[in-house]
Structure 1
Amino acid sequence: MRRISAALVSLIVLGGALSACSGDDGRDAAQATLTQLEGALVAAASTDAEEDGPNPFDTLAFGSMSADEVLESYRAIVAGMDGLAPTVEIGEVEESEGSSTARATWSWAVVDGADPWTYETVVELRPATDDDEAWQVVWQPDLVAPDLAEGETLDAVTLATDRGDITGADGAVLVTERAVVRVGIDRSRVDVAQAPASARALARLVDVDVKPYVKAVTAAGPRAFVEAITYRAGEEPAGLADALAGIAGAHTVDDELALAPSRDFAAPILGRVGPVTAEMVEKDPDKYRSGDIAGLSGLQARYDDQLRGSVGRVVYALPSDDSDEAAEGGERRELYRRDAVPGQPLALTLDEGLQALAEKVLAATGPAAALVALRPSDGAILAAANDAGTGGQNYATFGQFAPGSTFKIVTSLALLRAGLTPDTPVECTPTITVTGKQFKNYSDYPSSALGTIPLREAIAQSCNTALIGQRGALDTGDLAAAAATLGLGIDHDLGFPAYFGEVPDPASDTEAAASLIGQGKVLASPMAMATVIASVQAGATVVPRLVEQVDVAVPAEATPLAAAEADQLRAMLRRVVTGGSGRGLADVPGPDVIAKTGTAEYADGGTVRTHAWMVAAQGDLAVAVFVQTGESGSQTAGPILEDFLRGALVSADGR
């Protein structure tokens, strides 16, 4: 915070008191002077007041002190008030022997939402001349704050609050204050002329945008620390200390910051904490001030008010730098204190071990990929992982992709409700044409599974043409209704970014055919597809949940899943594993696994590529794996899902 050192000289004025002046004219003139002073005190302290703008004190007289000297003195006193501006109300002039005075009530909103710091001071007036309509203000430090001595200044110091932790399953602490090292330019250690060059050198050293950082350093006050980057303690680049030594003003500050166990742990969902941006301050100046720490993204931003708590502040009277008291190490005087209020924790359902496992199995994927694991019995999301290929985006719970053949779980339910059974014979042909559009099976579809086969085999082998051939059994809305039963397609707020997918009414027969195999305009997130197979496993509509304090309920639009329907679906999805496209999971130890593979074509420029999907459930665990570009569900997503299921069993055995 910037302070201007200035000697405050008490005004020695000539003339008598108000009592020496005649009539009401003198009182009115004195009161008018006080009104002008009241406005000038507020205007001069405002953060909007320009250093070279009009002097609010120009309309007032101060005897031997000029208005510019008074402005400099006043700003020196309040410069340390962190940009706060007071409200000032000056009462009626009072006559007393030898002087004329008025009481000034000062109020500073030192802490947002708390009672302001309020106090009274005394303003003294003296006649300027024999003219009873001209008055001078006696300027002295204790006009601004009680008992403020010459040379003392006000200093508002922020008391940081303890940010609330983010916890996971079984109360495990996921995000808490962890040691960090802040790297930046300390303006008190470099002169104004050198500061831009230092900022450029540091920005290049730590690989941050040069121009914005130089601008921030140049605009900062002479005592500001302008952060360039923050490292977890112990993760600073080799040789950083030596490199910083060669940059004037470069400095490190040991601190703590709310961090997850590792840099990437659920990062797109949990979000980031750091110094507030200029845009945040501009948008909500009553809530944020430059230098505040707040949630910048993800859940940290959404629940910032809860997690952040409220900062406190102490206002001190500081002796002047050249005073005897300061030279002797005199202590600052505390004038006001409001202690910080710690933030409240945010409880999530994430399981630390399973989240770490999910990120581990995705680590070598290459293309953008995501994995969601949830508990069918209560919908708790245990893992929601995104690999580096997503570029920090939350594909896991908010991605919007064609689900391909994993959507055949929904199609199967719609067909069962239309009167088919798992034994109903269907025709699996190499191709099928709908209003001029030819559909075919995936490239390595087994020829042994062509021809007339039962519905269960069509699902096990993932025959596109067989399901499209049954489109006449369904009415408009049947597919969307089946999707809703399995938790897909009905949007509702769960307290975190969640995309439940959509199953719009088809605009054509071709589009209706594509919808049956999870293409066309059908979309889903990995979370939504994990919910679909979780609903089958649970035998009831599952609603995923992540934030414990947010109540979730099954949407009224969802028709309940009948027990017989669930049994038939589980049997068909078990066949996928024992003799179909998901047989790579057949030897996974533990309870029986049910699964469904899927691929979905998408356009990438002029090239047609395929999303790779696989969903599975085992015991009280349901998992969806999505890889943006892959060969097929079984070849690309399948091994990732298998690694996760095996790892989850090991993790469960170790608990």
Structure 2
Amino acid sequence: MATTRTARSHLRRTAWAAACAALLTSGVAACTPDRPEPRPAAEALAAALASGDFADVPLDAGAPAPAELATRRAAVVAGLGETATATVEVGDITTADDDETATAALDVTWDVPWTDTDWTWTADARLARDDEDAWTVAWSPGLLAPGLTDTEVLRAERTAAPRGDVLGAGDAVIVTPRDVERFGIDKTRVPPDQQDAAARALAAALGTDADAYAQRVAGAGEKAFVEAITLRVEDASVDKMALRALPGVVAVPDRVPLAPTRTFARPVLGAVGPATAEVVEASEGAVAAGDLAGLSGLQRQYDERLRGTPGVTVSAVPAEGVDSSTVRLLFRTEPVAGEPLRTTIDPALQEHAEGILAGVAPASAIVAVRPSTGDVVVAASGAGGEGMSTATLGQYAPGSTFKVVSALAYLRGGLTPASAVTCPPTISVDGRTFGNFPGYPAAALGDVPFRTAFAHSCNTAFIGSRDLADSGALADAARSLGLDPAAELGFPAFLGAVPDESSGTGHAASVIGQGQVLASPLGMATVAASVAAGAVVVPRLVVDPEPGGDPAAEPSPDTAGSTADAAADTAATVQPAAAAGPATPLTGDEAAALQDLMRAVVTEGGATLLADLPGEPVLAKTGTAQFGDDADLRNHAWMIAVQGDLAVAVFVGEGDYGSTTAGPLLRSFLAG
């Protein structure tokens, strides 16, 4: 009759005791048994549970084969995601009094996706000696997850975190979840042979690409909903009842982060939508397909801050083909809401500016900055910019608005507002003739005070005075007024660039804001703000950029680049000096003189249309910059102004003159 396990254990203990007694009788001082410990077997099991390779595990006779266990483990943990990894450490091992069985505590840690909190738990592994006195492991599905059965697998799911709002001046809410309806084709509501026609009918009603949408519908699953457009609940620009009446069309209610209007500061703020493959890849696992993510503008730059941290659950669920609905929750982390992003945008002023630009066809912008703080309260770009942030990233010749910079350089060269300068009808530099704008007043020609030449924007007087300030002095004056090409502002922006090495016709063009001089509307608003503040102003749009966000991040497609007009303004990209050093600080006397000059533009020069505005006195400077070739010269129209604690720049990419095209827009803005 076969010997039982208990009997074998008794015989081994008896034999060992007898042998030990004999050794003691013969004079040996001690008797130490050479029996294996359970820890190596437990460590082999721990390594296998972490890696999925059970080849080196000393499994007992009743356990599945190592290859079968590897397959089983892979099926169980697949639902945790490809990036999930496990570590298993052997803790305390308790051996039974008879030294024949043991229990090993295995400390399991799973690094599951989407959360920094690990899933940790302890598995109890059972071990026993075999006939050869070696330790073996008893298999249990509970070694893979607490209480797991052979009919269960694991599934990890994420719960989206509430996205942080984008706030404006005074913490006014700008971007926040708002009610929308997602219109599209529900393929379960239209027969397969009619789905192509249904898709094309919906696309035609929306004025979108019918071929592209029909292809998307055809490629989706047989029960899919294929979205065509998302509309705000209050949006009356589309006949929603007519859409609903189309075959297969349904409207799915939802809430998504949106600004007050479809166009509100969109080139700057950007958009939120389903994460693209590019966004998912760049997030290194933090964003999954289907998540809402920032796609452009500040929403993308500060997406890490705004999106928060999703909640994660790990559950034991029935394996495929198992007839059960039981789901056991094993692990949970709660979602952590995203942090708000505070900006300086004033919602009322921004909407006011966008309303003024609504009827302007070319690229256009209105920027308003508080001289006292540098806060950018308006960064409005017109529709003519085709999604580009003309306000903050446009690169254009600033024309005569740049004479504020040249005037500072000339003040430092010895002029005063009362100094006499000569304003002839034309002036020649190295064979190139420069003139004043058509219709320049004859009364302001000849020998006139510098204040008069500035007020009427006499090109020839500024070019004739160019020896008072070389290109280096001009570049320094620009940086003294905030036109710094190397400024780091915490958001994608271009302020301006001035060549620090130019001569002849190049320098002559620079002093009147043409040639290689470039500026954005934000940059020229900063110049006006610096004059008003009496010190260099650094524009601020994002109040608290940390944590999250990369101020040096590449602008997204909605906010990047400059227009073809900008390329025509300059023959080469202007690079800042390699070691320019700090700009010369603006003095109180210099600021007062510039304020006097800019006030004269309103009282006697090209901006008299602003003279009767109520409130504090207005300071201003007009600007017109030519671009294009000689056969097709066109004008950028500019005007900058200061009233109280508001410095404003208005730009129109193609117009008549600063005073006639940009001026009325600026008056409307200040009057409002």
The equivalent of 1:388 in structure 2 is 383
Instruction: Give the 3 Å change call, closer, same or farther, for CA 367–100 of structure 1 in structure 2.
Output: same
**Counterparts of 1:301-380 in structure 2 under 5 Å?**
301-319=300-318, 326=325, 332-380=327-375
The answer as to whether partners of 2:202 and 2:246 remain within 8 angstroms in 1 is: no
Provide the C-alpha distance between the structure 2 equivalents of 1:493 and 1:42, rounded to a whole number of angstroms. Answer: 52
The answer as to whether partners of 2:308 and 2:337 remain within 8 angstroms in 1 is: yes
Instruction: Give the 3 Å change call, closer, same or farther, for CA 226–115 of structure 1 in structure 2.
Output: farther
Instruction: Give the 3 Å change call, closer, same or farther, for CA 157–202 of structure 1 in structure 2.
Output: farther
Instruction: Give the 3 Å change call, closer, same or farther, for CA 242–303 of structure 1 in structure 2.
Output: closer
More divergent stretch after superposition (68-77 vs 264-273)? 68-77
Instruction: Give the 3 Å change call, closer, same or farther, for CA 275–24 of structure 1 in structure 2.
Output: farther
1:418 maps to a residue whose letter is G
Secondary structure, in 3 states, of the residue corresponding to 2:505?
helix
The equivalent of 2:438 in structure 1 is 443
Provide the C-alpha distance between the structure 1 equivalents of 2:670 and 2:180, rounded to a whole number of angstroms. Answer: 35
Provide the C-alpha distance between the structure 2 equivalents of 1:62 and 1:639, rounded to a whole number of angstroms. Answer: 92
The equivalent of 1:579 in structure 2 is 604
The equivalent of 1:41 in structure 2 is 52
1:599 maps to a residue whose letter is T
Query: Is 2:292 the counterpart of 1:293?
Result: yes
Query: Is 2:539 the counterpart of 1:544?
Result: yes
Instruction: Give the 3 Å change call, closer, same or farther, for CA 201–120 of structure 1 in structure 2.
Output: farther
Secondary structure, in 3 states, of the residue corresponding to 1:477?
helix
Provide the C-alpha distance between the structure 2 equivalents of 1:182 and 1:83, rounded to a whole number of angstroms. Answer: 31
Instruction: Give the 3 Å change call, closer, same or farther, for CA 440–262 of structure 1 in structure 2.
Output: same
For 1:614-649, what per-residue CA distance to the aligned partner results, in whole angstroms no more than 9, with x for missing partners? 0111122111001111111011111111110101xx
Per-residue deviation, 1:364: 0.5
2:116 maps to a residue whose letter is A
2:472 maps to a residue whose letter is G
The answer as to whether partners of 1:313 and 1:340 remain within 8 angstroms in 2 is: yes
For 1:393-415, what per-residue CA distance to the aligned partner results, in whole angstroms no more than 9, with x for missing partners? 11212221110000111111211
Instruction: Give the 3 Å change call, closer, same or farther, for CA 64–30 of structure 1 in structure 2.
Output: closer
For 1:462-494, what per-residue CA distance to the aligned partner results, in whole angstroms no more than 9, with x for missing partners? 111111011122234221222222211353212
Specify which of 649, 664, 669 is matched with residue 624 of structure 1.
649
The equivalent of 2:230 in structure 1 is 230
More divergent stretch after superposition (230-239 vs 303-312)? 230-239
The answer as to whether partners of 1:88 and 1:104 remain within 8 angstroms in 2 is: no
Give unpaired runs (5+ residues) of structure 1.
1-14, 44-55, 648-655
Instruction: Give the 3 Å change call, closer, same or farther, for CA 629–474 of structure 1 in structure 2.
Output: same
The answer as to whether partners of 1:494 and 1:550 remain within 8 angstroms in 2 is: no
Instruction: Give the 3 Å change call, closer, same or farther, for CA 86–490 of structure 1 in structure 2.
Output: closer
Query: Percent identity of the aligned residues?
Result: 44
Provide the C-alpha distance between the structure 1 equivalents of 2:318 and 2:524, rounded to a whole number of angstroms. Answer: 66
The equivalent of 1:108 in structure 2 is 110
The answer as to whether partners of 1:84 and 1:108 remain within 8 angstroms in 2 is: no
The equivalent of 2:406 in structure 1 is 411
Aligned length: 605
The answer as to whether partners of 2:198 and 2:246 remain within 8 angstroms in 1 is: no
The equivalent of 1:180 in structure 2 is 180
The answer as to whether partners of 1:196 and 1:218 remain within 8 angstroms in 2 is: no
More divergent stretch after superposition (391-400 vs 630-639)? 391-400
The equivalent of 1:118 in structure 2 is 120
The answer as to whether partners of 2:163 and 2:339 remain within 8 angstroms in 1 is: yes
Per-residue deviation, 1:342: 1.6
The answer as to whether partners of 1:26 and 1:132 remain within 8 angstroms in 2 is: no
Instruction: Give the 3 Å change call, closer, same or farther, for CA 410–149 of structure 1 in structure 2.
Output: same
Provide the C-alpha distance between the structure 1 equivalents of 2:591 and 2:39, rounded to a whole number of angstroms. Answer: 88
Secondary structure, in 3 states, of the residue corresponding to 1:438?
strand
Provide the C-alpha distance between the structure 2 equivalents of 1:202 and 1:279, rounded to a whole number of angstroms. Answer: 31
2:163 maps to a residue whose letter is R
Secondary structure, in 3 states, of the residue corresponding to 1:629?
strand
**Counterparts of 1:149-164 in structure 2 under 5 Å?**
149-164=149-164
Per-residue deviation, 1:104: 5.5
1:119 maps to a residue whose letter is W
The equivalent of 1:5 in structure 2 is none
The equivalent of 2:31 in structure 1 is none
The answer as to whether partners of 2:114 and 2:287 remain within 8 angstroms in 1 is: no
Specify which of 505, 511, 521 is matched with residue 510 of structure 1.
505
The equivalent of 2:568 in structure 1 is none
Provide the C-alpha distance between the structure 2 equivalents of 1:124 and 1:251, rounded to a whole number of angstroms. Answer: 57
Query: Is 2:584 the counterpart of 1:559?
Result: yes
Provide the C-alpha distance between the structure 2 equivalents of 1:184 and 1:72, rounded to a whole number of angstroms. Answer: 41
Per-residue deviation, 1:25: 11
More divergent stretch after superposition (295-304 vs 542-551)? 542-551
The equivalent of 2:527 in structure 1 is 532
The equivalent of 1:650 in structure 2 is none
For 1:293-331, what per-residue CA distance to the aligned partner results, in whole angstroms no more than 9, with x for missing partners? 2222222222222222211112223346876753xxx5x
The answer as to whether partners of 1:184 and 1:202 remain within 8 angstroms in 2 is: no
Provide the C-alpha distance between the structure 1 equivalents of 2:624 and 2:479, rounded to a whole number of angstroms. Answer: 22
Instruction: Give the 3 Å change call, closer, same or farther, for CA 274–497 of structure 1 in structure 2.
Output: same
Secondary structure, in 3 states, of the residue corresponding to 2:387?
coil
Per-residue deviation, 1:70: 6.5
Instruction: Give the 3 Å change call, closer, same or farther, for CA 383–613 of structure 1 in structure 2.
Output: same
Per-residue deviation, 1:514: 0.5
Per-residue deviation, 1:118: 1.8
Per-residue deviation, 1:121: 3.7
The equivalent of 2:640 in structure 1 is 615
Per-residue deviation, 1:366: 0.3
Instruction: Give the 3 Å change call, closer, same or farther, for CA 526–392 of structure 1 in structure 2.
Output: same
The higher radius of gyration belongs to 2
Per-residue deviation, 1:67: 8.8
Instruction: Give the 3 Å change call, closer, same or farther, for CA 141–444 of structure 1 in structure 2.
Output: farther
Per-residue deviation, 1:72: 7.1
The equivalent of 1:521 in structure 2 is 516
**Counterparts of 1:133-282 in structure 2 under 5 Å?**
138=139, 141-182=141-182, 204=203, 207=208, 229-235=229-235, 237-239=238-240, 246-247=247-248, 253-282=252-281
The answer as to whether partners of 2:244 and 2:250 remain within 8 angstroms in 1 is: no
Give unpaired runs (5+ residues) of structure 2.
13-33, 552-579
